[in-house]
Structures are given as structure tokens and as C-alpha cells.
Structure 1
Amino acid sequence: MKKIGFGIVAAMLASVPAFAADLPSTKEAPVYAPPPPAFSWTGFYIGANIGGGWTQDFNRTGWGTAFNGIVWVPTYAAGNGGGSSGGGVVGGGQVGYNFQLTPMFVIGLEADFQGTSISSGNGGWWGGVGRGVDDFGTVRARVGLTMPGWSQLMVYGTGGFAYGDLRMNYGPFGTLHAGAIGWSAGGGVEYAVLPNWSVKAEYLFTDLGSERWGGANLAEHHVPFHTVRAGVNYRLNWGAAAPIMARY
């Protein structure tokens, strides 16, 4: 009987681990951590910029005078060489919208307005003839490229419509102004330092065409110029895609 009793006890003890394995686990299930949300450039943004600009050389010939209805002023006919170039400070603001078309491509539209001190001129017995750009603006398309693993860094090209206020100075004879339209193109690089903040550096070439003042013989003003500027943008998240982690 003792042997039988010991056998029953031994069998019961041996079955305990197997029975315990069938019981529900009291341990908490591991928490699933979703992947971090992928960065997206999609959304509206506003920003500011500052930099510098300089004009290209311009041609002039046939210096003489023409009557503008008030006084006789120096004038020229474009053609043979000569010219001057000059620079100044550029600063203003921009608004725009980006759309992340694919993980690598971004398209967008940006409008900006700049005040400038860009001016140039040459000397003369009348005090010199100068020209300048008081302000200008652009409305441009942007096409950007990002790299895998560097989605916060975008290299882009840009181009579109430009307009501005041109100025021609005639020393003691006065200053003339005219509005002009043309085009602008360039490129830049932008980096998102925070989810809503980015910094950028940009180059633009802008050509506002030729404008005449006071009839055919008074003056023609052609202002192609370059600008290099640094800026900062704040993304408003209007029209942006929902974060990936919100889907879990």
C-alpha cells in the first residue's frame, strides 16, 4: 500500500508543471511601439528672409538731352558698350504651400515680396545717371527632391512670374519711377530643423524687362539682377496629412 501511495503522490507532483502551463499567463502583453511618423513637407507655410542683391551691367550710347515736358534731361540710345553694376540689401516675407507628391518629390507654390536698396549708376557732369529696384515680388512654382533617410532636407528649383518698381535717377534733373513685369528663376536648399520650422538658402535671377519713360527718346531702363538670401519658414499644418501614429 505504501508503494502505491508513493506512486500516486509522485504522479500528482509530476503533473503540476504541465497543468500550470495550461493556465492563463499573468504577465502583461508587450506594448507595441508604432514607428515614428514619417516627416512630410505637405502644408501651408509663412516666413521671412534677408540677403543681398546686385544688378548686371547695362549698355548705353548716344548721350544727349531730351525734353520731358519740364526740363531737358540726359538720355541715351541702347547699343554700344558702357555700363555699371551695383548692389544692396534685400529683405521681405513669403507665403506658400508644399505637397509631398512621393517620398522623394515635393511640389509647391510660393509668393514673396521684397524691399531692396539695390542701385547702381555712373558719374557725369549732371551728377550721374543711376538706376535701382525699390521693391519686387514673385509668384513661383517649386519642385523639390528629398533623399531616403534625409526627408527633412530638400533641394529645389523654382521659377515663375516677377514684378517690381524700377527707379531711374538723373541727378539734379529728378527721379522717375515705373512698374515692370518679368520672370524669376533659381534654386535653393531647405532643412526642417523642427517639425514646424525650417531654414533655407536661396538664389534667384530676376529680369524685369525694359521700361521707357517720357516717350521713345527719354530713357530705357533694363534691370536684370541677382539675389542671394537666407530665410526661415513656419509650417501651419493647414492641409497637412495626419500623423502616422494617429492610425494605430
Structure 2
Amino acid sequence: MRNFLLSTVALAALAGQAFAADLPSRKEAPVYIAPAPIYSWTGFYAGVDIGGSWGNANLWVPGTIYTFSHNATNNGVIGGGFIGYNYQVNNFVFGLQGEFDGTGTGNSRYTAPALGLFNYVYQSSFNQNWIASIDGRLGYAIDRTLIYALGGVAWSDNSAHLNNLSTGAGWSTNNTRTGYDVGGGVEYAFTNNWTGRIEYRYYNFGTDNTTGIDNYLGNTFYRTTLTNNVVRVGLAYKFGAPEPVVAKY
């Protein structure tokens, strides 16, 4: 009888364990965490920038009566706006950008060129009024960070003046020159629409040979060379930013 009771208890215990195993689990399902969205750089944008320009402006005026040379730095503040379009393929970003910046760069100096029998004092000045460019951009995107290079054609509007303080003679000229620019930078998207950037740009406008009007000597040939090194920061707004793409695995 005792053995029968022990066997009954053992069978009941085993049956209870089997029934408990068949019951649904009371453990809560894990919370679903969506993958982080991937930012897209595709779209139109426009922005403003400001920075500093460091360059070199050389002015050379040869002549039978005098030979004048003005070689000085061309430093100042530069600022303006830009507009462009980006298209992203995987991590690569291709773009086209136009930019226009007013400049406060220029210099003025006094000098006494070698004049033989004469001993005149001259005041010379060179001013860069604005810089514009159309550039292609190529970048590599790491989500919201874009590392890019750019380059293209550039234009610079300049004015030069040379005044003979001894005789009152002098000449002036204003022209727009064509050159090129290259550079690179880093841009970061703070939101789906707003981005900030910092970049370096080198401009080279070559050597320009032209004629100035001298009210004492008549037409005077002169030659100028001009380069700029620019570091600036910018803020841009991306229009119609698409919703970030969610990576699917």
C-alpha cells in the first residue's frame, strides 16, 4: 500500500511539471528598437558664409621715364552667399554650387620708384571688390558628416590706382578677371534641414596685362598678379529635405 501511494505521488508530480511546461510564458516580449535613420544629402540648398582672405597682389608699371612696382599682401574680410544642389549615391555626394562674396581686401602704400633725373613719390592702391565662382563638389558622407573637395572657375572684380603726389598725375583702372579655385571642407547636418560647414579655398587669377589711363603720360601699360587664400565658415538651409531612410536588415 505504501509503495502504491509513493508511486501515485511521483506520477502526480511528473504530470504537474509537464502541464506547467505547456502553459504560455509570462515573460514580456522584448521592446522593438528601430534602426537609426540614415541622413540623405540629396537636395537643393542655400546659405551664407563669412571668413578671412589672405593673398598677394603685385602691380608692375614699366616705362621709359619710370618703372614702378607694388608688391604687397592682399588681406581682409570676405563674406556672402551660396546656392547649390547635391545628389547622393551610397556614401558619395556629387554637387554643383554657385557663390558670390563681397571682399574688404586691398592695400595702399607710398613708394618712390627709380626715376633717374626725377624724384617723385607715388601712392598706389589695389582693391578687390568681389569674388564669384561656380564649382563642382565631390564628397564622402558618413551619415550626417560630409567631407568634400571642390573646384571650378572663379571671377574677381578689382580696381587699381597709381597717383603721383609730386605732379598730380596718375591713372586708375577697374576690371573683372577670370581664374580658378580649388579647396575642401567639412559639413555637418545638425537637423534634416540645417547644416554648418568650415572650408578652405585657394583662388588664382593669374597675370593680367592691360592699359591704364595716366593723365600726365597718357596710356600706361601695367601688369598685375592676384591670388587669395580663404578660410570661412558657413550655414546652409536644405530645401524639401526628404525623410531619413531607415536601414532595413
Q: TM class by shorter-chain length? A: 0.7 to 0.9
Distance 1:233 1:221, change over 3 A: farther
Distance 1:157 1:221 in 2: 32
Structure with greater proportional strand content: 2
Q: Please name the residue that 1:71 is paired with.
A: none
Q: Please name the residue that 2:203 is paired with.
A: 205
3-state DSSP of counterpart to 1:15: helix
Aligned pairs, how many? Answer: 229
CA RMSD of aligned residues (A): 3.6
Distance 1:174 1:214, change over 3 A: closer
Structure 1 stretches of 5 or more lacking a match?
A: 66-73
Identity score, percent: 26
- Note the 1:1-248 alignment, pairs <5 A: 4=4, 7-8=7-8, 10-58=10-58, 60-63=60-63, 82-86=69-73, 87-103=75-91, 105-124=92-111, 125=120, 127-145=122-140, 151-171=143-163, 173=170, 175-185=172-182, 187-192=183-188, 194-195=190-191, 196-207=194-205, 210=208, 212=210, 217-220=219-222, 222-236=224-238, 238=240, 240=242, 242-244=244-246
3-state DSSP of counterpart to 2:199: strand
User: Over residues 71-109 of structure 1, what are the superposed CA-to-partner deviations in whole Å (9 max), with x where a residue is unaligned?
Assistant: xxx9x7xxxx93312322211122223333333x33222
Q: Is the 8 A contact 2:109 2:124 kept in 1?
A: yes
Distance 1:241 1:213, change over 3 A: farther
Structure 2 residue identity aligned to 1:108 = G
Q: Is the 8 A contact 2:173 2:212 kept in 1?
A: no
User: Over residues 165-215 of structure 1, what are the superposed CA-to-partner deviations in whole Å (9 max), with x where a residue is unaligned?
Assistant: 221223465653223333222x23314272443231312223176363568
Normalised to the residue count of structure 2, the TM-score between the two structures is 0.72
Deviation at 1:233, TM superposition (A): 2.7
Distance 2:188 2:237 in 1: 10
Deviation at 1:15, TM superposition (A): 1.4
Q: Is the 8 A contact 1:162 1:182 kept in 2?
A: yes
Distance 1:237 1:6 in 2: 81
Deviation at 1:244, TM superposition (A): 1.2
Structure 2 stretches of 5 or more lacking a match?
A: 112-119
Distance 1:174 1:83, change over 3 A: closer
